[in-house]
């Protein structure tokens, strides 16, 4: 217990929480924005190859996290073209940085947001959007003032689920961003390491933290859906 309250252990405890929140918030912002736009576009569009694109977007949801991690390493690793381009532009590789955590969280959370947004937009009566067009609204205004507010329930649920998924991301993050304390260690990877090194107290604290955050978010989604 004494150990728990020393300065360094306070930092040990809070560091993964802050990092988890930072990665989840940033990844969620991208997931929500891109998922909403893609959900709206693919929800209404019909073109050849649409099913293939949709399947690819949904794939991370069913793949083992190790497979997602593997693919991310192949695509963004130091030997790939993308990885080398990033290294050339930013003067540092992306793998084993917290940015890698953001990318891993984005990839696994995107399908959740995309599915919610798409079904939200698809359930809007097309005549309502058409009425707004006839009433003088541009496509952008229809999207902003009509489609998004009407689909707001689905968008909010999708956003919260995506954030929760980002927060809980473990496998792909471990492989692609690593588990470096104070640098890339998030709550799930920290719990894994704490148990591995028999630091049960710390594991408990993190477990409780993530339980409370996740419970509150899912509870909010349930309330919203009523």
Partner 1 sequence: MVQLSLKNIQKQYNESIIAINNVNLEIEDKEFLVIVGPSGCGKSTLLKLIAGLEPVTDGEIYFNRQLINHLPPQKRDVAMVFQNYALYPHLTVFDNLAFTLKRSKIPKQEIKQRVESIASMLNLQLYLHKKPHELSGGQCQRVVIGRAIIRQPSFFLMDEPLSNLDAQLRLQMRVEITKLHKELESTFLYVTHDQTEALTMATRLVVMNEGTIQQVGSPEEVYNKPSNLFVAGFIGSPPMNFFEATINENVIQIGENSFEIPDKHRGKLQNKREVIIGIRPEHFHLNLTHSIIFHVNIDRSEFMGTENYVYATYNNQPLITRLPLNAPLLNSIQLSVQMEHVHFFDKETTNRISIEECR
Q: Which parts of this chain interact with partner 1 (CB under 8 A)?
A: 125, 127-128, 130-138, 141, 145-146, 149-150, 152
Please, what is the minimum distance in Å from the beta carbon of residue 151 to partner 1? 10
- Based on CB atoms, which residue is closest to partner 1, 144 or 212? 144
Q: What are the backbone angles phi and psi of residue 140, rounded to the nearest 5°? A: -65, -40
Please, what is the minimum distance in Å from the beta carbon of residue 152 to partner 1? 8
- Based on CB atoms, which residue is closest to partner 1, 20 or 157? 157
- Based on CB atoms, which residue is closest to partner 1, 146 or 164? 146
Buried b (16+ CB within 10 A) or exposed e, 52-77: eebeebeebeebebeebbbbbbeebb
Instruction: Report which of 23, 169, 171 is spatially closest to residue 97, judged by C-alpha positions.
Output: 23
* DSSP category for residue 145: I
- Based on CB atoms, which residue is closest to partner 1, 143 or 170? 143
| H helical segments located in the chain | 2-5, 7-44, 50-58, 65-76, 81-90, 98-122, 126-134, 139-141, 148-150, 152-168, 171-176, 187-196, 200-225
Please, what is the minimum distance in Å from the beta carbon of residue 53 to partner 1? 21
Residues 125, 82: Cα–Cα separation, whole Å: 42
Please, what is the minimum distance in Å from the beta carbon of residue 145 to partner 1? 8
Exposure on the CB side of residue 24, measured as CA atoms within 13 A: 25
Provide the token pair at 84: 């080398």
- Based on CB atoms, which residue is closest to partner 1, 73 or 146? 146
Please, what is the minimum distance in Å from the beta carbon of residue 148 to partner 1? 10
């Amino acid at each position: 217990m004494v150990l728990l309250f020393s300065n360094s252990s306070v930092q040990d405890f809070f560091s993964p929480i802050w990092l988890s929140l930072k990665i989840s918030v940033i990844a969620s912002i991208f997931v929500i924005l891109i998922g909403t736009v893609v959900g709206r576009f693919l929800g209404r569009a019909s073109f050849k190859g649409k099913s293939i694109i949709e399947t690819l977007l949904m794939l991370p949801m069913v793949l083992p996290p190790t497979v997602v991690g593997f693919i991310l390493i192949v695509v963004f690793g130091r030997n790939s073209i993308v990885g080398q381009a990033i290294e050339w532009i930013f003067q540092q590789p992306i793998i084993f940085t917290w940015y890698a955590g953001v990318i891993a969280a984005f990839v696994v959370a995107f399908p959740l947001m995309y599915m919610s947004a798409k079904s939200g937009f698809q359930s809007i009566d097309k005549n309502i959007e058409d009425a707004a067009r006839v009433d003088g609204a541009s496509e952008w205004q229809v999207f902003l003032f009509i489609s998004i507010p009407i689909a707001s329930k689905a968008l909010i649920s999708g956003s919260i689920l995506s954030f929760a998924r980002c927060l809980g991301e473990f496998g792909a993050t471990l492989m692609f961003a690593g588990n470096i304390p104070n640098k890339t260690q998030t709550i799930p990877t920290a719990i894994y390491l704490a148990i591995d090194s028999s630091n049960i107290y710390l594991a408990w604290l993190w477990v409780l933290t993530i339980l409370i955050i996740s419970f509150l978010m899912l509870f909010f989604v349930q309330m919203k859906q009523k």
